[in-house]
Structure 1
Amino acid sequence: MIMGYSNSSLVAYTLLSPNHSGLRTERIDRISPHCVVGQCTAEGLGDWFHKSSTKASSNYGIDKNGRIGLYVEEKNRSWCTSSNANDQRAVTIECASDKAEPYVMHQVVYERLVDLCEDICRRNGKKKLLWFGDKNKSLNYQPKADEMLITVHRWFANKSCPGDWLYARLGDLAAKVTSRLGSGNVEVIPSGMQAGEFQGLTEEQVLAKVGPLFTADQKKSGILASVSMAQFILESGYGKSELALGANNCFGMKKSLSGNTWSGSVWDGVSIYKKKTQEQKADGSYVTVTAEFRKYPNVDDSIADHSAYLLGAKNGEKFRYDGLKGCSDYKKAVQIIKDGGYATSLTYVEKLYSIIEKWKLTQYDVTAETSDVIKYYRVRKNWGDVASQLGAYSVFDNAKAMADKHPGYKIYDWNGKQMYPEVMLETAGGMSNVDCPFTVKVSVPDLNIRKGAGTDTAKTGKFTGVGVFTIVEVKNGKDAAKGWGKLKSGAGWINLDFGKRE
């Protein structure tokens, strides 16, 4: 079989890797984008693939600045997706990303990915780029002569690649490229975390996927994650948002708990979803109204949009949900939302409570440091590993019982301090990491901040001034009897001999 191949003219750097299988045995009809798991340069990625010991490669790479590298010519099969069958048919593209899930990419990387996919499609005679968001449908589909299909690494190996950030945008990628190629509408599942992603998973596994997305947004919005998540599960008629689709799918619902279904719903343009819904009046009767909802492109946007709405909605000059910002009690937050006129159902509050408590959604709350913080003990492998969390408990003994059943798990309090097993890291002066975080009062105006723990480390050139400071880590070091404390601000380390424990 004789096939003609070319390489992209968008390439800014070339270093061909020895890691490939030679000429393809199949025609190109797939594109497989990946996440590098690092904000790399085109040269750095090329050097990595150039090592025979790496035993991996890709046809192209897009670095953190949007520069495109060529590492395996399109005529050759790269070693990229853990599948010979896929790599024989796919042009593989590694994209610079953060090192942790959801593996966020710089916007310039995503924009360049759109450009490169368009170029690949044009040179290979394709007029459509397809994204089905479903492994079985995709792998059993035979693209037509003018079609290109998106496939992903996670379908062939136990990996997250291309990461939830890019996976959430593959529908958008397909639509943008197809539009540029001049074709009409193409069948894609709306971008975002797809319903197909949840099939066959337990509720705990689903929450591990969507929870970190909520948690990250709550740090910005101040809205309780548990309340936001429960609202989307309850009111999954909120457009064809991926979270709503996922909620129906992963929680085993044929329709939302509020009774909303997809039937009879129609799209009006591309951004507004109109549907008829039943609103309950104060006397208990119902009235049918037509409501308009936003179409969310992905889970992240739906959370951000919803949170921004709740925090910013006004009636005249007054905030509609006054008191919600900074609220750390999910029951109080739900009542504020209900009282603000968000929902007219007489059972709305009770239903949200039920969902939050049934699925233990408070484990995703990010609470502010206020006097009314709900103090939960969280059982995790480590504080930063949110996905490993087994539960959040208001009673320490209950958390301990769970941790004891799972070797390797620890208990952290609401500030992230490890409570069990006890950490014994005492410094010479009696202060320890097990006490962190704690505050110290500094009464001298010119206390040096250093880059490390000890007078043998460099000064930063800055001083604390007089005030109270939070210490997040303690170490022994030169010329400090009480040890050295790391400032929460990240500015550096201070001598705890000059601070009084608050």
Structure 2
Amino acid sequence: MKLVESILTKNPCYTAGRKITVKGLMLHSVGCPQPKASVFINSWNSPAHDTSCVHGFIDGNDGTAYQTLPWNHRGWHCGSGSKGSGNNTHIGVEMCEPACIKYTSGSNFTCSDTAAAKAVAKRTYETAVELFAMLCEKYSLDPLADGVIISHKEGCARGIASNHGDPEHLWAQLGMGYTMDGFRKAVKAAMGGTASGTDRYTKIMGNATATAEQMKAYLKAKNPSVAQSVLDMVPLYLSEGKAEGVRGDIAFAQSCLETGNFTFSGSAVTLSQNNFCGMGVTSNGVKGNSFDTPQLGIRAQVQHLKAYASTDALKNTCIDPRFKYVTRGCAEYVEWLGQKENPAGKGWATGAGYGEKILTILKGILGTEGEASSPAPIETEIWYRVRKTWADASSQKGAFKSLENAKKCADENPGCSVFDESGKAVYSSTAAFKPYLVQVSIPNLNIRKGPGTDHGKTGKYTGAGTFTIVEEADGEGASRWGLLKSYQEKRDGWISLDYAKRV
């Protein structure tokens, strides 16, 4: 999260100087098609703007959070209701809205570019989660406690805010699948130093880890009488998955769960339907969808997974008959495919632990020898790998036969864990790196592609503001270098910590 201090010192709300004891946080959206936070900041920072003032804005174009009032100042962000005003107890933060919407009446609007609008809404939502997590930690607030985190709409229902419908009106009409209950859960997950609490979750999008041989071996071990036609179609999971950027091994593991390892025992679908994921089985007694060939059935399953995991367009023509019913991007991780575990209450299945069941099968597949026709024999020699995550092979620090030596390596490399050959984390250093915030005062601090002046510049500067550091490293030209959170995925955005002050 990039947090920039831009206090509205000329606004009469600021000059009034009234303080509050912070008891909660209120989430707003601006109610007009303007994604630029700077427009509001420039307009509101005036003695003439004497009707409203909030503690922060979140920019819709890049997700930057701007602090516009000291957090413990009384804002003018929610008006009042029959039971008083949330201005006396709650910090108020506005999310900017897409430029491509047009309000027609009340909170209703039309949208000329749904994809662009959804990108703005997703960007502001994710920053709001991080910002609210930081504020909850700062003021020792429990985000799940009653009345702590509320929307303007909920504030009105509680009698402490004026009659507004934000931000739920924006999320609902764009089909984002976001809810305030989901938002509160996401903030809770984000507390404790991680950006989203999902650093150990398994993304559905990406390259498969298991091979076709491992998948076949696992299936033959679980179902010795499996039909040859089923074994012949296993590679299709990998090819169809690759076409859409979905992990085909996850799709296969899901099929094993849904079909009882292709025995179809207790399953609502049959082999002849070419439906290996229970698609269309929406209640007891419903037969589900059928497809002409196994490849088309697998393609529909992969497309349905992509609908949950991503907002990207399909590469192939859509043959998933239920694609249109999915809230796009609502389940980025396998763990979120179950509705009970999904922060937004969305998901593929209603049963508890659905995603974890898929991952248990996937781990079994990955632990199977590719040429085996029965369960993999007990390993006589185990290698322990030290990495940041099992999926991030590029972060590996070493591989050891000795668990103790692997633990020692993990302790020497904060943020790393020890994984066994199945990908299970068997040890995490107690000294694991915990992300933290730093304040940068100079406007032209270079962002470099690696930790050191011997690495090239990105051509960008941090600007003055508050930033999250997710990793530290030694390097030329500074006593210590820090990796910016916004560059975490590719690890290509580092700043000298000599010019940053920890907050």
Structure 2 length normalisation: TM-score?
0.32
Give the structure with higher Rg (CA).
Answer: 1
